[in-house]
Structure 1
Amino acid sequence: MQRIVKPKTQRGRRALERKEPKIFENSKSTLFFKGGNTSQTVTQVLKEMHTLKKPHATMFGKKNATRPFEDQSTVEFFTSKSDSSLFMYGCHSKKRPNNLVIGRLYDSQVLDMAEFGIDKFVSMKDVEGQKASMGIKPCLVFSGDLFEENDDNRRVKNLLLDFFRGPTVDNVSLSGLEHVMSIHGANGKVYIRNFRVLMKKSGSKTPRVELQSMGPSLDLSLRRTRLASDDLFKRALKKPATAKPKKKKNVSHDDLGNKLGRIHMNTQDFAKLQARKLKGLKRKGPVANGTDAGDESKKQKVDET
Structure 2
Amino acid sequence: MLPTIKPKNARSKRALVKRSSKVIENPKNTIFIRGSQTSQVIQNVLKDLYSLKKPLALNFSKKNEIHPFDDETKLEFLCNKNDTSLFTIGSHSKKRPHNLIMGRMFDFKLFEMFEFEVKDYKSIEEIKGKTCASGIKPLLVFSGEPFNQDDTLMKLQNFFVDFFQSEKTDSICLTGLEHVISITVDPSASTPPPTSTVDQQQNYKLYIRSYYVNFLNSGQKLPRVELEEMGPSIDLVTRRHVFPTEETWKKATRVPKELFVKKTKNITHDNLGNKLGRIHVGQQDISKIQTRKVRALKAPKVNEF
Structure 2 length normalisation: TM-score? 0.82
| 1:63 equivalent in structure 2 | 63
Displacement of 1:134 in angstroms is 0.5
Structure 1 counterpart SS, 2:174: coil
| 1:89 equivalent in structure 2 | 89
Q: Does 1:234 align with 2:235?
A: no
Structure 2 counterpart SS, 1:100: strand
In the alignment, is the contact (CA less than 8 A) between 1:145 and 1:186 conserved in 2? no
| Closer, same or farther: CA 151–285 of 1 in aligned 2, 3 Å | farther
2:223 corresponds, among 181, 203, 207, to 207
Displacement of 1:61 in angstroms is 1.2
| Whole-angstrom distance in 2 between the partners of 1:81 and 1:136 | 27
Amino acid at match of 1:50: Y
Amino acid at match of 1:86: L
Amino acid at match of 2:90: G
| 1:268 equivalent in structure 2 | 283
Q: Deviations over 1:50-106 (max 9, x none)?
A: 000000000111111111111111111111111000001111111111111110111
Amino acid at match of 2:282: T
In the alignment, is the contact (CA less than 8 A) between 2:212 and 2:230 conserved in 1? yes
Structure 2 counterpart SS, 1:16: helix
| Closer, same or farther: CA 152–4 of 1 in aligned 2, 3 Å | same
| Whole-angstrom distance in 2 between the partners of 1:61 and 1:84 | 16
Structure 1 counterpart SS, 2:136: coil
| Whole-angstrom distance in 1 between the partners of 2:225 and 2:24 | 35
Identity %: 39
| Whole-angstrom distance in 2 between the partners of 1:212 and 1:251 | 48
Displacement of 1:271 in angstroms is 5.7
Structure 2 counterpart SS, 1:175: helix
CA-based RMSD: 2.4
| Closer, same or farther: CA 198–150 of 1 in aligned 2, 3 Å | same
* Matching of residues 63-212 of structure 1 within 5 Å: 63-187=63-187, 188-212=204-228
Displacement of 1:249 in angstroms is 3.3
- Structure 2 unaligned segments of length 5 or more: list them: 188-203, 269-275, 290-298
| Whole-angstrom distance in 1 between the partners of 2:147 and 2:264 | 36
| Whole-angstrom distance in 2 between the partners of 1:273 and 1:113 | 76
| Whole-angstrom distance in 1 between the partners of 2:164 and 2:117 | 18
| Whole-angstrom distance in 1 between the partners of 2:213 and 2:205 | 26
| Whole-angstrom distance in 2 between the partners of 1:160 and 1:116 | 13
Structure 2 counterpart SS, 1:161: helix
Q: How many residues align?
A: 272
Structure whose alpha-carbon radius of gyration is higher: 1
Q: Does 1:4 align with 2:5?
A: yes
| Closer, same or farther: CA 172–273 of 1 in aligned 2, 3 Å | farther
Q: Does 1:18 align with 2:18?
A: yes
| Higher mean displacement: 205-214 or 13-22 | 13-22
In the alignment, is the contact (CA less than 8 A) between 2:267 and 2:278 conserved in 1? no
| Whole-angstrom distance in 2 between the partners of 1:216 and 1:186 | 19
- Structure 1 unaligned segments of length 5 or more: list them: 253-260, 275-282, 290-305
Amino acid at match of 1:214: M
